[in-house]
Amino acid sequence: MNSEIRNIEPQALWNKFADLNAVPRPSKKEERVIAFMKEFGESLGLITEIDKVGNVLIKKPATPGMKDRKTVVMQSHLDMVHQKNADTQFDFDSQGIEMYIDNDWVRANGTTLGADNGLGVATIMAILESTELIHPAIEALFTIDEETGMTGAMGLEGGWLQGDILLNLDTEEDDEIGVGCAGGIDVTAKRTYKQEVVPEGKIGYSISVKGLNGGHSGMDIHKGLGNANKIMNRLLFDGFENFGLQVSEIKGGSLRNAIPRESFALITVDAIQEEAFEFEIKELIKTIKNELVIVDPKLDIEIKKTDLPQNIMELGVQEGILKALYAAHNGVYTMSASISDLVETSNNIAKVTIGKGEITIECLTRSSVESSKTDLMNKLRATFELVGCEVTTSGDYPGWAPNMDSPILKVMDALYQELYGEKAHVAACHAGLECGILGQNYPDMDMISFGPTILGAHSPDERASISSVQKYWKFVKEILKNIPKN
């Protein structure tokens, strides 16, 4: 299946992407891909180093005639988001990604593709391996764990890099030159509860929410996509308010940086309420589907009778949690007042796990303004603390403030217009990029982010445009030729 990918132009890039996608590389489990990159660098006879957290640095000298140019750091992250469809049998810890061509798109078979940020990694690998491309001295920086905490960028020490310019290859629209990004923080609410034995006179149901598009919890948060956790909570809240529904367990979402696509719950209701409950919830399901028919036309919500669960939540805790999840903000919180159409602050209620006496709710809050990020974090904290949860925060990372006077921006902006006859879209994004963190230890480094068009990142619908990669590859080569002199 992957062999056809190797024949796409530019073959140098797609072959490296296929090599990379054969290596399992989940966040926080990057040992194999670190070893893969180390072997790759050393096989080329290039200086290859690994720092104490696992970031890989490969250095390549300038080609003839380019030694007087500024040194460029080309940077991408090694890890990828692991998401799959519920009916896809796949082990991310042991299997390579299965890819196929669909017209102008490269896709994966029921899983995320890893184009985020594998195409960036493959680009740098192709440049390192090339004996023909013209370029200045390159420091190829491959960071780890970007997707679940940016611990690679956070652990990168000052002084390791000598470059003057950083090209981050992690933007997902080929007409965009990125000059800024949002920061983020993980918000986690936990508490315990007493399990109660299901009393007599109850019947059990399973509820499933599936078929949502999901997507990147930063780049796609403004699209109004359905959040499986919020949809499930709406169903449970209605059933509780009107029919005394009681929850046995909930399992919704998977990763903080992915809009949750699926949620599953086991519940009970009084047997005498069976007919009225089923009628009410089926009407609500129709309403929700109608609300989301444009953005999530494949939404599938099912309710089925099932065996009675052994235990249910104590009623008081259940009422509080359902109300807190209803009140907790999800989606866009504020839009930027300074940059048109840019989401400033948002939250993703990413994962809800309830069962066996324990409750865990995981969110990712993003903002390009630190005070607004703190404000929304406190709003969430207050909401969950009111119902007895202990709320903790972790993984706090800064945003990247735009520098519109950037010298490399001027070079790239002019080159883009020369190559394609139109101006690039110079913008900040609502995703988290590593530039803000790297800039803390390298404040004088001139930074830009760009990349090919990738849609559906962080979901099994992730796909990369073949024609866009060709466009982007041409742009990369011209940028390297036109790096300013020292």
105-108/99-102 β-pairing:
antiparallel
Q: Residues 118, 80: contact at Cβ < 8 Å?
A: yes
Residue 36 DSSP class: H
Neighbours of 31 (CB within 10 A): 12
Q: Which residues of 307-332 are buried (b: 16+ CB within 10 A; e: fewer)?
A: eebebbbeeebbebbbbbbeebbbbb
Q: Check 30, 116, 146, 434 and give the catalytic one.
A: 146
> Where do runs of H (alpha helix) occur along 44-150?
115-129
For residues 231 and 253, give the distance between their C-alpha atoms in angstroms, rounded to a whole number.
12
Neighbours of 133 (CB within 10 A): 15
Please state the φ and ψ torsions of residue 376, each to the nearest 5 degrees. Answer: -70, -35
Helix (H) or strand (E) holding 41: helix 31-43
Tell me, yes or no, if 79 is annotated catalytic: yes
**99, 103, 104, 108 alpha-carbon torsion, rounded to 10°:** -20
For residues 275 and 272, give the distance between their C-alpha atoms in angstroms, rounded to a whole number.
8
Q: Which of 219, 190, 155, 148 is nearest to 395 (CA)?
A: 148
Tell me, yes or no, if 175 is annotated catalytic: no
Q: How far is CA 94 from CA 7, 28, 29, 146, in A?
A: 25, 15, 11, 20
Token couple for 261: 């696509």
Which residue's structure tokens are 């000598």? 162
Q: Check 79, 116, 173, 461 and give the catalytic one.
A: 79
For residues 262 and 171, give the distance between their C-alpha atoms in angstroms, rounded to a whole number.
27
DSSP E strand boundaries for 272-342: 300-306, 311-313, 331-335
Residues carrying an active site annotation:
79, 146
